[in-house]
């Protein structure tokens, strides 16, 4: 199966069964199939061929889904772009991936510097405006392209320790295998209604909220932003049964919710960052069941480990759960030998969900996929029942509201300021977002710099969620004799 066929699994749906709800519009599964064909035909009409790269920058909307699946059906490799990236960051991904087509939402297009956009040397710039939509509706059937399940269908760019994003190359089979494993682990189906408020460019949202829901024949209720009152009203009044979010969303939800109000909600799945115990407990008090925690990463399509979804299954608070069906996981030492139960080591994963490798990064690929296992870079332990627990991270990853931020990337941006001599970036605890970013800064002799000035400087270089919220100007940073900054002391 290829991802643009994912909805065909449900062949016995009643005619008119709703696939998507967005604002005041309703899209049936018949409509969805037609739109995917029309978008595929449109991409073919502008010269998109098999293996071409199509980047998409859009908030949550039906057009994101049509563009992604339509481009895939035309044979393209899709590159979903984080909407919060600056044009400088987008430029790196476009050039590194070789994308020659960009699909962009008009709200985003209006905010971009058009002169800088032209420097990307894009062959096709597709703006999802009304003129485009009327053109698409005139399209017929696309011509068939020979696309195998093992063909690469997407590059998911994830921040790297070098400061430059890495493009995890995933096949159709990688993503479909993850969907099938999630289906086998759940008891969901066509009667379910998924609330999709997590951004579709995020791998967790795309696989669970979109591909899994379509595979099941479920309905997807789409929201383009997390406005607490609006989301709560949607959960109360729109028959939502499944809500996938990051911990900060659940933290807001439990503050607003009262017992008995959200009668249809039967499953809450949290990902992107560790869920605070306090939020876990409060959710269970209100709803009578636990939030399901799991674990994933872009390189694994992304969900690899999950607490069981069956209502009567054993779920362990603080644990990320057990591997999905068909997925293997273990904890290893520095020599890649499995450690005894209860001991801490690196979490590694194997299975059909694991990426082919990183685009144009053979050394990084060999290091990450050595010995046939995906090395996650996360420290974990496993208990006697086979449940896994994330203990810490080998890398200095900071997770802000579900988004991954690598300190090195932030540090390099700060180093670009002429007044900065030295910098170290760490993550600090935040009750709502899980973590926030703190920068320790040493200024050059005779220089002055304020927090406000530095934040303004960084706005052109980093996505907003990567910009530190806390700054401490210090005389010097603690270092080893070889000059390495001792971040442990700062933490």
Residue 319: per-residue pLDDT: 93
Task: Give the chain's residues under pLDDT 50.
Answer: 161-162, 481-483
**DSSP strand pairing (292-296 vs 303-306):** antiparallel
pLDDT at res. 484: 57
> Of the CATH numbers 2.30.40.10, 2.30.38.10, 3.80.30.20, 3.40.1830.10, which one belongs to the domain with range 292-393?
2.30.38.10
Residue 368: its pLDDT value, please? 96
281-317: pLDDT as tens digits: 888 888 888 899 999 999 999 999 999 987 778 889 8
Q: Which pLDDT score is estimated for 231?
A: 95
How high is the pLDDT of residue 9? 78
This prediction's pTM: 0.85
* d(C-alpha 435, C-alpha 273), whole Å: 9
In angstroms, the CA 150 to CA 91 distance is: 28
Q: Taking the C-alpha atoms of 106, 210, 81 and 112 in order, what is their torsion angle to the nearest 10 degrees?
A: 10
CATH class of residue range 398-490: alpha beta
> Can you give the pLDDT at residue 482?
41
C-alpha–C-alpha distance, residues 166 and 368, integer Å: 12
CATH architecture of 3-225: 3-Layer(aba) Sandwich (3.40)
What residue spans define the domains of the chain?
A: 3-225, 292-393, 398-490
What is the distance between the alpha carbons of residues 89 and 351, in angstroms, rounded to a whole number? 32
Phi, psi (5° rounding) for residue 205? -65, -45
Q: What is the pLDDT of residue 118?
A: 77
What does the alpha-carbon distance between residue 181 and residue 324 come to, in Å, rounded to a whole number? 6
Sign of the CA dihedral 356, 162, 380, 303? negative
Residue-wise pLDDT tens digits, 314-336: 889 889 999 999 999 999 999 99
Count the neighbouring beta carbons within 10 Å of the beta carbon of residue 439.
23
**Parallel, antiparallel or unpaired: strands 166-171 and 357-358:** antiparallel
pLDDT at 161: 43
**DSSP, residue by residue, 111-168:** HS-HHHHHTT--SEEEE-SHHHHHHHHT--PPPP----TTSEEEEEEE--TTSS-EEE
Q: Which residues have a Cβ under 8 Å from the Cβ of 397 and sit 6 or more positions away?
A: 377, 404, 405, 406, 427
Q: Are the C-beta atoms of residues 291 and 268 closer than 8 Å to each other?
A: yes
């Amino acid at each position: 199966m290829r991802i643009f066929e994912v909805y065909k699994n449900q062949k016995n749906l009643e005619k008119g069964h709703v696939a998507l709800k967005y604002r005041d519009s309703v899209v049936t599964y018949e409509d969805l199939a037609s739109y995917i064909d029309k978008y595929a035909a449109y991409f073919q009409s502008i010269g998109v061929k098999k293996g071409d790269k199509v980047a998409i920058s859009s908030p949550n909307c039906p057009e994101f889904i049509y563009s992604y699946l339509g481009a895939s059906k035309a044979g393209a490799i899709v590159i979903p772009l984080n909407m919060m990236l600056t044009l400088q960051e987008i430029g790196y991904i476009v050039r590194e991936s070789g994308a020659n087509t960009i699909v962009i939402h008009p709200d985003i297009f209006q905010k971009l510097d058009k002169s800088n956009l032209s420097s990307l040397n894009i062959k096709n710039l597709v703006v999802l405006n009304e003129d485009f939509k009327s053109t698409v509706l005139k399209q017929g059937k696309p011509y068939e392209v020979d696309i195998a399940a093992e063909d690469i269908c997407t590059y998911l760019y994830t921040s790297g320790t070098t400061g430059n994003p890495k493009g995890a190359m995933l096949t159709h089979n990688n993503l479909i295998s993850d969907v099938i494993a999630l289906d086998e682990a759940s008891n969901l189906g066509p009667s379910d209604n998924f609330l999709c408020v997590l951004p579709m460019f995020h791998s967790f949202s795309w696989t669970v909220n979109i591909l899994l829901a379509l595979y099941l024949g479920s309905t997807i209720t789409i929201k383009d932003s997390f406005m607490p009152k609006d989301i709560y009203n949607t959960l109360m009044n729109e028959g939502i049964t499944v809500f996938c979010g990051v911990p900060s969303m659940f933290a807001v939800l439990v503050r607003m919710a009262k017992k008995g109000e959200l009668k249809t909600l039967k499953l809450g799945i949290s990902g992107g960052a560790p869920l605070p115990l306090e939020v876990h407990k409060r959710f269970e008090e209100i709803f009578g069941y636990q939030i399901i925690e799991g674990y994933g990463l872009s390189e694994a399509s992304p969900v690899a480990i999950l607490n069981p979804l069956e209502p009567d299954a054993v779920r362990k608070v603080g644990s990320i759960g057990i591997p999905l069906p068909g997925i293997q996981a273990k904890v290893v030492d520095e020599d890649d030998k499995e450690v005894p139960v209860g001991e801490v080591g690196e979490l590694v994963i194997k299975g059909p969900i694991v990426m082919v490798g990183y685009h144009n990064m053979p050394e990084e690929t060999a290091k990450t996929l050595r010995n046939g296992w995906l090395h996650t870079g996360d420290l974990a332990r496993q208990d006697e029942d086979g449940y896994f627990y994330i203990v810490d991270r080998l890398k200095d990853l900071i997770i802000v509201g579900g988004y991954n931020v690598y300190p090195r990337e932030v540090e390099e941006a700060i180093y670009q300021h002429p007044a900065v001599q030295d910098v170290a970036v760490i993550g600090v605890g935040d009750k709502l977002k899980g973590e926030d970013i703190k920068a320790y800064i040493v200024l050059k002799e005779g220089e002055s710099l304020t927090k406000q000035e530095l934040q303004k400087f960084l706005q052109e270089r980093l996505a907003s969620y990567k910009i530190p919220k806390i700054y401490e100007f210090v005389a010097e940073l603690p270092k080893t004799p070889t000059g390495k900054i001792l971040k442990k002391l700062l933490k």
